[in-house]
């Protein structure tokens, strides 16, 4: 009777944990929309159902598991972002289950529950990386399930468990080839450790061929997962393209992307993440999706500093597992700990050379499991009574874990509160920040109203989500237009597809992808030349978020010219920013009390061609958060020729606070300056900004406020459409 009651309590506890996990996960699964990686995966999955094939018809460098799962999902449900979260949620629950089982096997039920709790904490820190349909969480979850089956085989030498281990790791390879292969190598190392452990304990019979049999069962499981997909790809004639994409290209990829590992000394910086770009690279997304809890926590950067420990916990956890797994000073090999170390370390190394936070957390699930198991193993070996050093160490560890949990709790509640607006589109259904939801709704409705149902939409560099939401085809086989995708031909294939298929509208981001070492203008000159000569920038949406381009009536009618900014001496209060399609000079005079004016001045030395030329640019302003009445910005351009100074441009702008939600606003009309009077001479162009009044900018504003000299170029008469005016 007592045993039955105990079992019942156990089942009730497990059911309560499952319900708690589901209740915790659903709000996160419903929130956020990722325009980049999520967008192209959803669009390609939908096109897969339409008859296109990965590698042959659609560019991809990852094994096809996630695309097949989403294509199956879209065949059962209407294609939408929210429908894709169903398999994402199942993968998340599978990860929690695998983490619990591994920790329970190695350290007991309490460690299993602790693992589930810490995985929940890490899910918030990783948000939204583990909660949208992406290949990495699936690959890592399947690798953990494979490890769980290996540990089951360690307990009971049943061949079915080893076959299942191979099946799960085969699925891991099917979803992300490098993570899966590294996990497989870790599992093989664990298999060897289990044999060594058993022999040390005198429990393993040295039967001839046992190792071959073990590897055969593992290989059979891997083949069972991968063979059907291999046959399918081969039968469709895409095998050569798949080999190039999945095997050859990843080695090329490492030379194009590299983000250095965050230094441990970063913890000591007064301002740890000093810019939005650095925060985006090394910080969790809730940092810039929700406001900080208090001003003082924001200024000391508590959450930011905890990020440094996220980077440096894995080596310490690995060292502890290695020491304990090899027996410390007196014990024999612990194959369970060594297996966990081998698999978690292998998967973790699979993320390099891209050590930004978003990629790091993609492989952090095994680190969490390893950390709990390592702590539990150390706790079991503690001395009684504990030394003062041990007390301090355990107290520090508990404090750090509590800090991560507290930050996660705040972020979890804040994400639910601030990401509360439905993206009201047929193919969306998820919740986002109000301004993002409004922007996307306006963006997609604009696309649908200005393009036909079958009209291909050119989006770049990573905006295929707009194609998916608007139900508009892409222009070529390339859905993501990052460096490693299209640099091999300078973007010529995309440009050709745009000329042949694109309609009258194109949409780009303002800026390049943050981790590309080169900008689009460097790695895809053919595409950029096409965009600058065959298209013109007409509108911006969300101020500095998106650019809408219109196809010119006559192809090649635009003019590229030469940027003057490389020839400029930039004021300390100014900054040159390289955007996706052009560069701009930002003059930020800051907020000063009237009537004293603040002046920002940059100068550029130019040699005007003997045949004459013209300066062409757009002059615009960035709005501040608040501005005093009658505040103005004056923008001037002067030509200095020896002792002669000529003012050739003067614009006066009334400074008004930034509107709450700018929809689509037109770019400033081009300003053209005829430089023919200075033909054949070297001149100095002075670009000047004068602020009268007072203005304040937002905290963490990336570019400040002030005057913007956009895309200043020198255009010679010989260029298409050139000449002075």
The DSSP-derived string for 389-410 is HHHHHHHHHHHHHHHHHHHHHH
Q: Could you please report the per-residue DSSP string of 274-326?
A: -SHHHHHHHS-THHHHS--S-HHHHHHTHHHHHHHHHHHHHHHHHHHHHHHHT
Residue with tokens 């009268």: 692
The predicted pLDDT at position 720 comes to 46
Q: Give tens-digit pLDDT for 536-555.
A: 999 988 767 899 999 988 77
Residue with tokens 């797994």: 325
Residues 165, 159: Cα–Cα separation, whole Å: 10
If pLDDT is split at 50, 70 and 90, which confidence band does 158 have? confident
Residue 594 has pLDDT above 60, yes or no: no
Which tokens is 424 given? 């009201």
Secondary structure string (H, E, C) spanning 237-283: CCHHHHHHHHHHHHHHHHHHCCECCCCHHHHHCCCCCCCHHHHHHHC
Nearest by Cα to 341 from 310, 374, 311: 374
Residues 472, 444: Cα–Cα separation, whole Å: 10
Residues 546, 2: Cα–Cα separation, whole Å: 66
Residues 505, 500: Cα–Cα separation, whole Å: 13
Residue with tokens 């607006």: 421
Which tokens is 354 given? 């891209």
Residue 137 has pLDDT above 80, yes or no: yes
More confident residue, 273 or 52: 52
If pLDDT is split at 50, 70 and 90, which confidence band does 64 have? very high
Q: Give tens-digit pLDDT for 618-653.
A: 999 887 777 788 888 999 999 998 888 899 999 999
Residues 388, 128: Cα–Cα separation, whole Å: 41
The predicted pLDDT at position 591 comes to 61
Residues 82, 33: Cα–Cα separation, whole Å: 9
How high does pLDDT run on average in the chain?
Answer: 88
Q: Give tens-digit pLDDT for 165-207.
A: 999 999 999 999 999 999 999 999 999 999 888 887 666 655 6
More confident residue, 223 or 659: 223
Residues 75, 39: Cα–Cα separation, whole Å: 18
Nearest by Cα to 98 from 22, 149, 137: 149
Please compute, for residue 699, the number of CA atoms within 13 A of its CA located in the half-sphere on the CB side.
7
Classify the phi-psi angles of 471: left when phi > 0, otherwise alpha if psi is within -120 to 50, otherwise beta.
left
If pLDDT is split at 50, 70 and 90, which confidence band does 722 have? very low
Going by DSSP bridges, is the β-strand pair 456-460/502-509 parallel, antiparallel, or unpaired? parallel
The predicted pLDDT at position 127 comes to 94
If pLDDT is split at 50, 70 and 90, which confidence band does 266 have? confident
Task: Give residue 404's Cα distance to chain centre.
Answer: 22
The residues spanned by each domain of the chain are 135-414, 431-551, 562-715
Beta bridge partners of 664: 541
Residue 724 has pLDDT above 50, yes or no: no
Residues 682, 603: Cα–Cα separation, whole Å: 13
Element (H, E) at 709: strand 706-715
DSSP 8-state code for residue 54: B
The predicted pLDDT at position 664 comes to 79
Residue 676 has pLDDT above 80, yes or no: yes
If pLDDT is split at 50, 70 and 90, which confidence band does 725 have? very low
Lowest mean pLDDT among 101-105, 106-110, 304-308, 315-319: 304-308
- Evaluate whether the domain defined by 562-715 bears CATH number 2.60.120: yes
- Of 1-5, 72-76, 631-635, 638-642, the range with the highest mean pLDDT is 72-76
Residue 79 has pLDDT above 90, yes or no: yes
Classify the phi-psi angles of 129: left when phi > 0, otherwise alpha if psi is within -120 to 50, otherwise beta.
alpha
Q: Report in angstroms the alpha-carbon separations of 377 from 326, 367, 382.
A: 13, 15, 9
Residues 174, 230: Cα–Cα separation, whole Å: 10
Across the range 29-55, mean pLDDT stands at: 94
Angle between helices 37-49 and 65-76 (to 10 degrees): 60
Residues 149, 98: Cα–Cα separation, whole Å: 10
Q: What SS3 class is residue 502?
A: strand
Residues 516, 174: Cα–Cα separation, whole Å: 26
Q: Give tens-digit pLDDT for 456-487.
A: 999 999 999 999 999 999 999 999 999 889 99
pTM score, two decimals?
0.90
Residue 386 has pLDDT above 90, yes or no: no
Q: What SS3 class is residue 173?
A: helix
- First and final CA of the chain: distance in angstroms? 97
**Structure-derived torsion over alpha carbons of residues 511, 513, 515, 518, reported in degrees to the nearest 10:** -70
**Structure-derived torsion over alpha carbons of residues 493, 497, 498, 503, reported in degrees to the nearest 10:** -170
If pLDDT is split at 50, 70 and 90, which confidence band does 660 have? low
Q: What SS3 class is residue 421?
A: strand
Which tokens is 29 given? 């699964």
């Amino acid at each position: 009777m007592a045993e039955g009651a105990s079992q019942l309590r156990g089942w009730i506890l497990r059911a309560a944990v499952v319900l708690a996990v589901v209740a915790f996960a659903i709000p996160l699964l419903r929130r956020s929309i990722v325009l980049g990686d999520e967008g192209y995966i959803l669009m390609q999955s939908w096109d897969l159902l339409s008859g296109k094939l990965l590698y042959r018809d659609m560019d991809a460098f990852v094994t096809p598991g996630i695309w097949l799962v989403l294509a199956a999902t879209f065949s059962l449900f209407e294609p939408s972002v929210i429908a894709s979260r169903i398999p994402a949620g199942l993968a998340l629950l599978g990860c929690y289950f695998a983490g619990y089982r591994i920790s329970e096997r190695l350290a007991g039920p309490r460690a299993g529950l602790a693992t589930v709790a810490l995985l929940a904490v890490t899910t918030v820190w990783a948000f939204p990386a583990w909660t949208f349909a992406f290949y990495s969480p699936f690959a890592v979850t399947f690798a953990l399930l494979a490890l769980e089956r290996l540990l089951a085989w360690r307990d009971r030498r049943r061949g079915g468990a080893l076959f299942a281990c191979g099946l799960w790791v085969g699925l891991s390879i099917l979803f992300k080839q490098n993570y899966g292969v590294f996990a497989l190598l870790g599992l093989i190392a664990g298999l060897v450790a289990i044999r060594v452990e058993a022999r040390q304990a005198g429990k393993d019979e040295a039967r001839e061929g046992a190792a071959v049999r073990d590897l055969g069962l593992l290989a059979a499981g891997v083949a069972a997962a991968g063979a059907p997909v291999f046959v399918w790809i081969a039968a469709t004639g895409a095998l050569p393209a798949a080999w190039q994409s999945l095997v050859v290209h990843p080695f090329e990829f490492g030379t194009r992307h590299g983000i250095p590992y965050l230094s441990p000394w970063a913890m000591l910086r007064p301002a740890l993440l000093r810019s939005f770009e650095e925060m985006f690279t090394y910080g969790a997304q809730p940092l810039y999706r929700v406001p900080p809890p208090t001003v003082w926590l924001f200024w000391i950067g508590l959450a930011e500093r905890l990020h440094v420990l996220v980077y440096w916990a894995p080596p310490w956890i690995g060292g502890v597992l290695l020491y304990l797994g090899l027996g410390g000073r007196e014990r024999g090999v612990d194959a369970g700990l060594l297996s966990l170390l081998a698999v978690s370390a292998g998967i973790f190394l699979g993320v390099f050379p891209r050590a930004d936070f978003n990629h790091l957390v993609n492989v952090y699930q095994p680190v969490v499991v390893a950390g709990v198991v390592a702590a539990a193993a150390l706790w079991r070996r503690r001395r009684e009574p504990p030394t003062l050093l041990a007390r301090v160490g355990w107290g520090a560890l508990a404090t750090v874990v509590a800090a991560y949990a507290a930050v996660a709790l705040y972020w979890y509640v804040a994400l639910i509160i601030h990401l509360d607006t439905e993206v009201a589109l047929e193919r969306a259904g998820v919740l986002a920040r109000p301004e993002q939801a409004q922007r996307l709704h306006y963006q997609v409705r604009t696309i649908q109203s200005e393009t036909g149902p079958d009209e291909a939409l050119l989006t770049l560099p990573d905006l295929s989500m707009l194609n998916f939401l608007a139900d508009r085809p892409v222009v070529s086989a390339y859905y993501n237009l990052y460096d490693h995708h299209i640099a091999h031909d300078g973007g010529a294939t995309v440009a050709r597809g745009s000329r042949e298929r694109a309609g009258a509208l194109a949409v780009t981001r303002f800026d390049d992808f943050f981790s590309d070492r080169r900008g689009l203008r460097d790695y895809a000159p053919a595409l950029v030349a096409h965009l600058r000569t065959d298209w013109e920038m007409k509108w911006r949406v969300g101020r500095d978020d998106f650019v809408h381009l219109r196809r010119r009536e006559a192809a090649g009618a635009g003019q590229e010219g030469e940027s003057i900014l490389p020839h400029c001496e930039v004021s300390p209060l100014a900054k040159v920013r390289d955007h996706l399609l052009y560069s701009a000079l930002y003059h930020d005079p800051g907020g000063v009390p009237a009537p004293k004016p603040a002046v920002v001045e940059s100068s550029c030395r130019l040699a005007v061609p003997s045949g004459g030329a013209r300066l062409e640019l757009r002059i615009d302003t960035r709005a501040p958060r608040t501005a005093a009445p009658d505040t103005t910005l004056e923008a001037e351009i002067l030509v200095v020729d020896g002792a002669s100074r000529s003012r050739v441009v003067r614009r006066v702008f009334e400074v008004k606070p930034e509107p709450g939600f700018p929809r689509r606003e037109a770019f400033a009309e081009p300003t053209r300056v005829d430089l023919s009077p200075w033909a054949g001479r070297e001149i100095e162009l002075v670009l000047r900004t004068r602020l009268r009044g007072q203005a304040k900018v937002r905290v963490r504003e990336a570019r400040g406020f002030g005057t913007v000299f956009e895309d200043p170029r020198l255009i010679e008469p010989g260029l298409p459409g050139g000449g002075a005016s």
